Structure 1
């Protein structure tokens, strides 16, 4: 036992040394390879694992996956779908309902004058829930492309249930969102900072015009652009921060996206109804990589998420969590939603200690539990990031970081999240980022077959300016398509945040975060 304990402690110490040494190494490399042209060659050679033809083919296939019905032409506001006139009913009511059965509701879309819509493309979110039981499940909505929709729900628990359906966006609003996503990446821009001047410059993933600095990462092939400061060379670039949002909507376009007509519950005369119990066999297997997510992927009951993917577990106490994580190194890559996970673990586990690295968020953060011999690192994904100031030496592409992780035999856990900061950009940028991450994940798994890799889906509730759950849904659908069939776990935070009784928010409350983390732990420690 003493030998095992010594090895485990050494593992954590080694992690710390590698973490600190990694920053010194990267700082040196970036200094040596800064070029006067403004290109930062962070690594010696690109991956080049995908031909341009195959990449273009995948892009076309993914665009087909996220195709969305469009209005037949320019539509006046009064002819767009109204959440106050649209309604749903139960076309085939039954005397009794049993657990394990499906129940369907017909949504009939109407415009602001109450007239029936004749085409589809509206985006609805539906859930079946029992407030007293703290239970909820997401429903699936089928668009019949004629102004009607079917909302289908799987009955998963006995008791009194009710239905809630909200119109997130009309089809007319979605046409505007889609157009602005693809044609106006400048609607959200960033500030670039340079040594030798207090002047901040506009930066983005795409900039046109003269006097533009281009910063290329040779390994991933991704670029970052900034307007060049006066009298300052491009290689003086030192970091970026969130910038500003531009109002790009006309008065007419803004009316379709006004908060008075989006994210609104639609009415119905359907009341609550009772679901009777039925003996069902639990045929879920243990949680392991590569399992597909059924629809629905799970449900809440008494505030506990019961996965339909596998037999997930609850980890109610800090000791349950530390027993699972003992001897492991966990890398979390992503945005503020995975940072929420990192902070939750830090607050939950008394023996987990934040390490003082003299770097403020969103720089990488490290926590070590010397008592239970495990470590958790959080690191933001590379630009674009609408966060506080980030030094260029503290931000790195997830793909490059994964390629630096060695071939550990066991105890290696990777959690990846990358979505919210790409909402405002043309979708090709997101696909390119995910492709490089996917390739590096496959290389990592080849080096370390026992590594456990999880991809956290996006949360619902991205309701900031230029944000939308429809835009988030598009990216989430792309992510699932790109990682399907691979030996990774897709943690379905999308449904976990969409059917809970708490208000929709990009950063959900502790009860949802705890369930998300417990689901992750169920794949790390399935038994």
Structure 2
């Protein structure tokens, strides 16, 4: 009874402090109508514009974001918890439902959503795992759905990557500093070499530019022209630096490793279930929450795609023989490229 009275008092205190800080600024999801440096790139076709909007809609952060709250009222993964729904034994083809309840550093339930949570269901001894689909109810509660795809003991793992209060900061940086990274290219001809800054957009009236805009996609990319060399002498490209000290001391409190940055959320009650073979009378499979899963450390797609695995250099060489492979992407693609060139002689 004493604990109940204490929690009631704390909850009233929270409401009073909330009132003292009202009105909070409500941040609507950021809407960007024009791509960066659109005045230089080619105008997208109607089909491309529709595809771009669909992509933006797919990554739009759900709901409203509240900013300006005291740190004590931000999400605390150590006090938050998840609860597995259903019995301790379930069957392949079913769906595991998990409820996540976020609490603040006072141990009180959060009143709004927006936290960045990731979830996985895994069996380490089987080399098996699948990602869960997180649904934000916008009131501090979340539902996670996992497809049950293999037999054995499966463990639920929920991680808070960022609290909703940190997401507010990240969206501000996205809006105010969209180009936080600096890139450089090395130009070389004989014994002469120069290094110049490069970006998607550079001031047109500052100094001469080298234009490396993709002629097919219109994707812009520019470098300041070397003083002594031509634009055709560019030999390398690398990330030089990133702008620092863009967040305030108050905002930095929401990015503390081990406290509220990439921290696990523990279970209240059981943290795993045992998955049994599928029941004959119930063969319905709920795979809509995942595109595939890992089993025996191998990727298993759920879209009926025929996957072929190449476990030795000879098999890879035979498959790629006579082919030209284009690898486009970021540093992750570079890692695949480095692995491929190291694995295949």
- Separation in 2, partners of 1:227, 1:267: 51
Residue in 1 that maps onto 2:293? 299
Q: Which has the higher helix share?
A: 1
The answer to whether structure 1 residue 337 and structure 2 residue 335 are counterparts is no
Residue in 2 that maps onto 1:128? 121
- 8 Å CA contact retained: 1:126, 1:139: yes
TM-aligned CA deviation for residue 97 of structure 1:
0.6
Residue in 1 that maps onto 2:20? none
Residue in 1 that maps onto 2:239? 242
C-alpha change, 1:317 and 1:223, in structure 2 (3 Å) is closer
- 8 Å CA contact retained: 1:195, 1:236: no
Residue in 2 that maps onto 1:112? 105
Residue in 2 that maps onto 1:158? 151
Residue in 2 that maps onto 1:262? 261
TM-aligned CA deviation for residue 204 of structure 1:
2.0
Residue in 2 that maps onto 1:252? 250
- 8 Å CA contact retained: 2:122, 2:128: yes
Residue in 2 that maps onto 1:487? none
- 8 Å CA contact retained: 1:89, 1:105: yes
1:211-360 matches, cutoff 5 A: 211-216=206-211, 217=213, 219=215, 220-226=217-223, 232=227, 238-239=233-234, 240-247=237-244, 248-260=246-258, 261-269=260-268, 270-278=270-278, 294-309=288-303, 310-349=305-344, 352=345
TM-aligned CA deviation for residue 169 of structure 1:
0.9
Residue in 1 that maps onto 2:5? none
The answer to whether structure 1 residue 137 and structure 2 residue 137 are counterparts is no
- 8 Å CA contact retained: 1:192, 1:237: no
- 8 Å CA contact retained: 2:88, 2:274: no
Q: Deviations over 1:452-477 (max 9, x none)?
A: xxxxxxxxxxxxxxxxxxxxxxxxxx
TM-aligned CA deviation for residue 85 of structure 1:
1.5
- Separation in 2, partners of 1:228, 1:324: 41
CA RMSD of aligned residues (A): 3.5
Residue in 2 that maps onto 1:203? 198
Larger Rg: 2
For residue 72 of structure 1, give the secondary structure of its aligned residue in structure 2.
strand
- 8 Å CA contact retained: 1:124, 1:167: yes
C-alpha change, 1:303 and 1:64, in structure 2 (3 Å) is closer
Residue in 2 that maps onto 1:83? 77
Q: Which has the higher strand share?
A: 2
- 8 Å CA contact retained: 2:113, 2:138: yes
TM-aligned CA deviation for residue 126 of structure 1:
0.6
For residue 173 of structure 2, give the secondary structure of its aligned residue in structure 1.
helix
For residue 161 of structure 2, give the secondary structure of its aligned residue in structure 1.
strand
- Separation in 2, partners of 1:193, 1:328: 30
- Separation in 2, partners of 1:297, 1:56: 26
TM-aligned CA deviation for residue 100 of structure 1:
0.9
TM superposition score normalised by structure 2: 0.71
TM-aligned CA deviation for residue 127 of structure 1:
0.7
The number of equivalent residue pairs is 292
Unaligned 5+ segments in structure 1 are 1-45, 284-292, 353-527
TM-aligned CA deviation for residue 145 of structure 1:
1.1
- 8 Å CA contact retained: 2:293, 2:301: yes
TM-aligned CA deviation for residue 50 of structure 1:
3.9
For residue 104 of structure 2, give the secondary structure of its aligned residue in structure 1.
coil
Residue in 1 that maps onto 2:18? none
TM-aligned CA deviation for residue 101 of structure 1:
0.6
- Separation in 2, partners of 1:56, 1:330: 28
TM-aligned CA deviation for residue 58 of structure 1:
5.0
- 8 Å CA contact retained: 1:99, 1:155: yes
Residue in 2 that maps onto 1:444? none
TM-aligned CA deviation for residue 348 of structure 1:
3.8
For residue 308 of structure 2, give the secondary structure of its aligned residue in structure 1.
coil
- 8 Å CA contact retained: 1:215, 1:223: no
- Separation in 2, partners of 1:345, 1:207: 35
Q: Deviations over 1:27-73 (max 9, x none)?
A: xxxxxxxxxxxxxxxxxxx996844x766555444433322133233
- Separation in 2, partners of 1:228, 1:320: 44
C-alpha change, 1:191 and 1:348, in structure 2 (3 Å) is closer
TM-aligned CA deviation for residue 132 of structure 1:
1.7
